[in-house]
Structure 1
Amino acid sequence: MSWAMRNDQKSRIARLEALVDRVCDTYVTNGPLPHLQLLLSVDGEVILDHCQGQACADGGSLQGSALYRLASMSKPIVIAAALVLVEEGRLALDMPVAEPMPEFSRQRLWTGEVDEEGKLITIPCDGAMTILDLMRHTAGLTYSIHGATALDRFYAEHYLDSFHQRRNSDDYAAALAEAPLLYRPGERFHYSASVDLLGIVIERVSGMSLDHFLDQAIFAPLGMVDSFFMVPPDRIDRLTDAWMVERPGAAPTLYDRGGHSRWRMPQKSWSGGGGLVSSARDYHRFLSMLMEGGVFEGRRILSQESVTRMMTNQLPSGGDLVAEGASPVSETAPEGVGMGLGGAVLLDPARAEIPGSKGTWFWGGLLSTGFFLDPVRRVIGIVMTQLMPPDTTRLREDFRRGVEEIMREDGNG
């Protein structure tokens, strides 16, 4: 039974307002965040949509229609679009990536060593990455942001995981195929650029550009009119500034100005793993569809099977991220947490020390955006702001913990 059905909403709203005041005082008024939007719904009804702070350094206050760079919150949307192709029979989860992408037919595996010239030493790789591997980050790819290995540095030097690619899709795929793998496909989880590659798979299989396919398969059916890779001229005034903290304790500096953003410019290719812009209300539509088992306003977008797959643990070990030897950047603590498709799954709240019901699905982005979807209590929470890196604050954790405390006070422990 949902939280909304069991308790008095008026009392809950008062406690939510106190939570909002506390969070905003900590992170906006007296903290590093330029702005903050908090959205919470129960049983599909939005009971909180609060905005605070300045959308832009030279602009007015933040509005509910503000646009944000999603970064890795793009991944669930692109994975959902790929699952549409799976349901149509044009993709299969066990399909080798090399079938639509022959560039990946001769992958090599990095030995973990470099030669005297600093070049990566590789060997032939047995096993082939599959579409499922791309969705669950078991393809053997990596991210430069990990900054832990020579292969991570190779990704940075060759611009293999930037928000805005310098290459078209085919050239990017060819460049990515030249990079050796960190692990054999299917061997273990490692957070990576695999959803960028999945976006190109979608283009090859559908015969459409990724932005057009997302419009057709996800955005139009859900009425997500404010979601795109390139912000249209008539909406650029709603794009917030993005900020970054270059070192701990430093003041935030401007990373991307809303009115002059790189996200307003045409790109040679689209980053499926991190390039989307959206609003809190649009993203809520997407999450609401998943909450309802793939149905939105009476129209089926995804099958229940696809939704279940996205929101249940898909790790090869069947255990948590500790069992996988979790990669250093994965938007979540490893203990008691599994990985679905596009988001983490709370397997053991006590062990994870993360508030929420068992089965809660959640993820976030590099610019401190985040969401959680509790299918037991039928609660959706969304945090939107624009400050990186996300570990500059504990905003997302504090909001979730505050909501959890209110639910427990209502007897929903």
Structure 2
Amino acid sequence: MTVESTAARTPRRSAGSKAGTTGTKRTTSTTKKAAGAAKSAEPALVQLLTPEGKRVKNAEFDKYVADITAEDLRGLYRDMVLTRRFDAEATALQRQGELGLWASLLGQEAAQIGSGRALRDDDYVFPTYREHGVAWCRGVDPTNLLGMFRGVNNGGWDPNGNNFHLYTIVIGSQTLHATGYAMGITKDGADSAVIAYFGDGASSQGDVAEAFTFSAVYNAPVVFFCQNNQWAISEPTEKQSRVPLYQRAQGYGFPGVRVDGNDVLANLAVTKWALERARAGEGPTLVEAFTYRMGAHTTSDDPTRYRTDDERLAWEAKDPLLRLRRHLEAANHADEGFFAELETESEALGKRVREAVRAMPDPDHFAIFENVYADGHALVDEERAQFAAYQASFADEDGGK
């Protein structure tokens, strides 16, 4: 029975009452239709390894990992284990007061190692401040990542030495840098590609929208790699976007794809595909690696204040390292000797990182005031004096620190 015929057979009400009832019914109907449409349009997720470590087929992307060997798989696992060990050591060093801050990648190893190993040497990377796994793939020594977080340098490595740009703290700006660099590659006639990493939170920044526009209009050879770890600090993704992030690419005129961010093989395959498109002159691609940040946003964050233990435990069951280890064991690609040797190598890396950080100088607490203005400024002078007084308040009676 239609809404109109129901209204005709009921006692006459005021215009306001009738309109309200009809509006409610129509709204409910519309809501149900929208919910049904949303359910039928669930995002397609590219996956080659299940959480249980089972290899599954994908007609479109299998060919990009068709030649992968058991040695290659062990190498990917080694990359993820050592990256996680380095990351854990850096977190511990921050807790011990050796670093001012640290942004952990815990849980995002597969997205970073998979995409990082898809790159050619002549490709160029524009990271955020969390791409420790990609830095590892590019040959940047892990200890060089820590100077900035200790406050003793502004980067710690030559970007052109590894085609890996310095970490970018300003949210989203590296996507514009990557787009401009990619446009330059086209002008130079080179066949290399550029990849820009950013998070789901950065996808809300205007810089990212501008980068999408320019890259599409100029057909720039750039891959936008969004690690959707589902939390922009304490803000969940569903409060930032009404559609899955990869679908935004459609509005700019280039393809987007969502990949299982905890599946290192899928990330490797999808990124290879996107990079090949870029090198072939087919323009940009948006890759959304759907993953989860298992730790805090940074060491100054407390994720227990805004998310549940149940959510974290559910994602721990999809751990990228555990997934690949299960596959290696089931396929007899690795034995206990391999895992034991890797554990020894992992501990040695942790020790080297500890010693390197503790050998670094203490940061110059007043350097922050030196380069604000070329000719000095009265307000900066005042703030410097206030900070000096604050520092002096920690001195003991003997004048020591």
Q: State the TM-score, normalized to the length of structure 1.
A: 0.24
Q: State the TM-score, normalized to the length of structure 2.
A: 0.25
Q: Name the structure with the higher strand share.
A: 1
Compare CA radii of gyration and give the structure with the larger one.
2
